[in-house]
Structure 1
Amino acid sequence: MVRHGAFAYTWDLVGDPAAVERFAALGVDTVTLQAAYHSVRATTAWHPSHRVVHAEHAAAYFPIRPERWRDLRLRPAAPTWAVETEDRFGTASAALAAAGLRTEAWLVLTHSSKVGSSAPDLTVRNAYGEVFGYALCPAQPAVREYALMLVQEICELYDIPALVLEACGWLGFEHGSHHEKTSGADLSASARDLLSICLCPACARGLDVDAVQLAADIRTTVDRELQLGVAAGQNLVEALGADRAQAIYDHRTHVITQLARDAAALAGDRELLLMATDDPQVTGPDVGADLTAFGSRPDAFVLKCWDDEEAAIGRVKTAVVRTGVPLVANVNALGERPEELSALATRLVEAGASQLRYYHAGLASPARQAAIRAAVQEVA
């Protein structure tokens, strides 16, 4: 039996008595509900009080208990938008539970411009010494404490069966920024990956290489591409050599797996789902790591299947063979061809996915909601 779920924001539900019925009508049994999340602007087509919610910064959608954060350097901010209640997550999850829908707490751990701007020394620092203020570095002990406290607070405040962790590692250059103006430089994927390598003091210590020389070589390679048009190679191995690329992959996998294990220990008997990819070169919301290094936890990997259909199918098949861990296929109902959602969902399950999550029920138009409904009915 395939479990079907849909992503949602708290403001899709809080203050709208009819919202739960709309979600239940999709046929899903699970809602992946935002508990700690980055800045976003979102439509709310049916809400009685608003049509556009502008979450201006990352925030916690549960009550922030000052005594729990007092001794930590980093702490989340409270939202000031769509204010119907202080406990948005609790209110929304209670409404879902009353309708028989299972709630997963969706936690974004290291993506926060708000927190990053308060502690730039704890953010990702590239080879030029430039900080990515939206990207907290998980190799920093204070960042780990912050991330784990988010997990602990959700577990202590709510009786929910599962946690979904997003951004459990590094965000990199590809994340983008306000009014992005980088496309004209024609940076290759390899150069973007080079700019995503964190060389903050914690990462410099964790890498088993000469970090000063590594930074110099990254700058030389990227500048040759930016200024002379000489490609940086196809990947980090070509750009930096096999040994240094492997050192970066090993460092990332070690930090990410340890953070995931610590989160799993806090989660106890709750399911822990990790948004991930098996490409250790990747930085972003879906962490890139050696998925075979995690052991028995997390309980499932959430694989993003938003790109080319064949690539998504291949990703699922590879992960099934390599990990033996249950796989959740994250499919995009907001893409260009929603009418193909059922066929994609069918193929992903045939490839080995045991669960499906549809992104995003609150943002979906009537036609896209119909596509989610059809996919749920088609894939039993």
Structure 2
Amino acid sequence: MVRHGAFAYTWDLVGDPAAAARIADLGVDTVTVQAAYHSVRATTGWHPAHRVVHADHAAAYFRIRPERWRGLRPLPPSWGVEDEDPFGTATAALTAAGLRTEAWVVLTHTSVLGRSAPELAVHNAYNEVFSYALCPAQPAVHDYALTIIQELCDQYDVPTLMLEACGWLGFDHASQHEKTSGAELSACARHLLSICLCTACAERLAVDVPRLAADIRAIVDRELQQGIPAGSDLADALGAERADAIYRHRRDVITGLVREARALAGQRELLLMATADPQVTGPDVGVELAGFEPAPDGYVLKCWDSEEAAVARLKDATTRTGVPLIANVNAVGDHPEDLPALVKGIVAAGASQVRYYHAGLASPARQAAIRAAVQEVS
């Protein structure tokens, strides 16, 4: 039996008494609702009070109890509707409609906090700050992330936490209008620019960090200015020993955070948005699925590309781990009519659950595609 779920925003539900029933009509049994989330502009085509929500900074959508925080603290939202606890209100409405709820928790993606504390953000080899990306190796960021999880567990009876951005965000996940494509940076160069060398990472990386930074700059500059490719991957560009040191550092930080999150979650399910490539940075953390400890209750794998690529990704993941696989599929991309076939393919390839992105953003045609996929794949 395949579990089908959909993502939704709190502002899709709060202030709209028909929203929960409308999502239930898609046929899904689970709704993943943002509890902590980055800035975004979103359409709300179904809401009775608004059509566009501009969430202009990352925010916590749960109750913020000031006494529970030290150091970094998330900001509350100031958009959508007036509600001191939009996450609680949204999940209560979904529960009343017979739907299972999950907390969608984005941890390190916050421009507002990165700008206020740049020393805690990712620093690349040029000592340039990625203000949208908090570095999880920084103790203050680690504490901030765990406090989010602790507060959700203390305040809400949600059965599942889905963790997004619990590692590093890199070069490819910015927050401004993107003007970098003309440089034609290779994937390897982008991975090089995504390596964090902030003070916390520099202390923990088992390499000569000044030499590493200088080599990264030389490699990237050579590609930018002379058109000489950086390499096929980090091992090719930096050598296997240094690439392995970077992967070990990332693995240690991410597994440490997940281990403590696992302890805080107790009996709740913990799902991890992930990819099997350890050199990847972004909202889906790059980890070696095989042997990742502590293992989450499920890996959420993004399947937003072609059916062929998504099926290959699921098949590869099943060879690496016995942990359940949840396919995150894009219902608001091109060709929604292909959604049922995509879901059939990825379930046959090993996905035991599907999450459709996104119930609130989907047009009538895209909602119909979700409904068809749920009906055809059980």
Both structures adopt the same fold (TM-score exceeding 0.5): yes
The 5 Å alignment of 1:284-363 reads 284-295=282-293, 297-363=295-361
Q: Cα distance, 1:308 vs. partner?
A: 2.5
Q: Cα distance, 1:317 vs. partner?
A: 1.1
Choose which of 82, 86, 89 in structure 1 pairs with 2:87.
89
Identical aligned residues as a percent: 73
Is the Cα contact below 8 Å between 1:257 and 1:293 reproduced in 2? no
Partner of 2:363: 365
- Amino acid aligned to 2:317: A
**What do the CA deviations read for 1:127-181 (whole angstroms, capped 9, x no partner)?**
0000100000001111000000000000000011000000010000001231221
Write the distance in 2 (CA, Å) between the matches of 1:162 and 1:297.
15
With normalisation by structure 1, the TM-score equals 0.98
Is the Cα contact below 8 Å between 1:136 and 1:170 reproduced in 2? yes
Partner of 1:137: 135
Q: Cα distance, 1:296 vs. partner?
A: 5.0
Choose which of 267, 270, 273 in structure 1 pairs with 2:271.
273
Partner of 2:7: 7
**What do the CA deviations read for 1:82-122 (whole angstroms, capped 9, x no partner)?**
13311000000000000100000000000000111111001
| Cα root mean square deviation, aligned | 0.8
Q: Cα distance, 1:63 vs. partner?
A: 1.1
Choose which of 200, 204, 207 in structure 1 pairs with 2:205.
207
Write the distance in 2 (CA, Å) between the matches of 1:310 and 1:202.
40
Choose which of 73, 76, 92 in structure 2 pairs with 1:75.
73
Q: Is 1:127 matched with 2:125?
A: yes
Write the distance in 2 (CA, Å) between the matches of 1:105 and 1:298.
15
Is the Cα contact below 8 Å between 2:94 and 2:100 reproduced in 1? yes
Write the distance in 2 (CA, Å) between the matches of 1:237 and 1:339.
40
Choose which of 242, 245, 267 in structure 2 pairs with 1:244.
242
Alpha carbons of structure 1 residues 200 and 270: separation in structure 2 relative to 1, 3 Å: same
Q: Cα distance, 1:22 vs. partner?
A: 0.7
Q: Is 1:179 matched with 2:173?
A: no
Is the Cα contact below 8 Å between 1:292 and 1:323 reproduced in 2? yes
Partner of 1:32: 32
Q: How many residues align?
A: 378
Which stretch shows the higher mean deviation, 192-201 or 294-303? 294-303
Choose which of 258, 261, 265 in structure 1 pairs with 2:259.
261
Detail structure 1 runs of 4+ shifted over 6 Å in the superposition. Answer: none
Alpha carbons of structure 1 residues 293 and 144: separation in structure 2 relative to 1, 3 Å: farther
Write the distance in 2 (CA, Å) between the matches of 1:237 and 1:150.
35
Choose which of 187, 190, 196 in structure 2 pairs with 1:189.
187
**What do the CA deviations read for 1:53-75 (whole angstroms, capped 9, x no partner)?**
00000000011101001xx2100
Is the Cα contact below 8 Å between 2:38 and 2:59 reproduced in 1? yes
Look up the SS of the partner of 2:290 in the other structure.
Answer: helix
Is the Cα contact below 8 Å between 1:44 and 1:52 reproduced in 2? yes
Write the distance in 2 (CA, Å) between the matches of 1:163 and 1:259.
14
Write the distance in 1 (CA, Å) between the matches of 2:308 and 2:373.
18
